Amino acid sequence: MELKAFQDYLNSQRLKFTRPRRLIFKEIFSSKKIHPNAYEIHRRLKRKGQKVSLASIYRTLSLLVRCGLVSEIDFGENHSHYEPDVVKVAHGHLVCLSCGEVKEFSHERILTILSKIGKESHFMTDKFSIQVFGYCANCQKK
């Protein structure tokens, strides 16, 4: 699984598999539907009685993004959210502007089109970010 990939990366770079890194990794990969931000990870760990500094959380997140195991996403707020990059089709997010609910969707066809667009502009495309903002069924009733 992905933990092995993380450890392999750390070894290859002569970096260490420390307690904070283990906890942060576990927190992100065990709650795949959450898209937490740094503060949320901090809060969840604290609630479980695990003290890890916010600084370490930011440092570990950027490490995980750097080695390709985690993606940084933006939901139009003034901070970033993070999600594990598990082996699955790339996807976008439906974000409710009222309650903040986030629902994932994937659509092979969109990626095909985006890749083609990149090619036409001679861009070497690396990653895509697709967000759809609107109002979920629940919030429309109100």
Binding mask 12-31 for DNA (x = CB under 7 A): --xxxxxxxx----------
Q: Which is nearer to its own copies, 39 or 128 (CB)?
A: 128
Residue 97 near its own copies by CB under 8 A:
yes
Binding mask 114-133 for its own copies (x = CB under 8 A): x--xx--xxxxxxxxxxxxx
Shortest separation between residue 59's beta carbon and its own copies, angstroms: 16
Report helix angle 19-30 to 38-47, nearest 10. 100
Q: Which is nearer to DNA, 67 or 114 (CB)?
A: 67
**Which H or E element spans position 108?**
helix 108-120
Shortest separation between residue 64's beta carbon and DNA, angstroms: 12
The strand pairing partners of 100, in sequence order, are none
- Which residues lie closer than 8 Å to 18 by C-beta, 6 or more apart? none
Q: Token pair of 39, please?
A: 């503060």
Terminal CA-CA length for the chain: 43
Q: Which is nearer to its own copies, 17 or 123 (CB)?
A: 123
Amino acid sitting at position 124: M
Q: Give the gyration radius of the chain's Cα atoms.
A: 17
Residue 73: helix, strand or coil by DSSP? strand
Residues near DNA, by CB under 7 A: 10, 14-21, 37-39, 51-56, 58-60, 62, 77-80
Residues near its own copies, by CB under 8 A: 72, 74, 76, 92, 94, 96-97, 103, 105, 107, 109-110, 113-114, 117-118, 121-137, 140
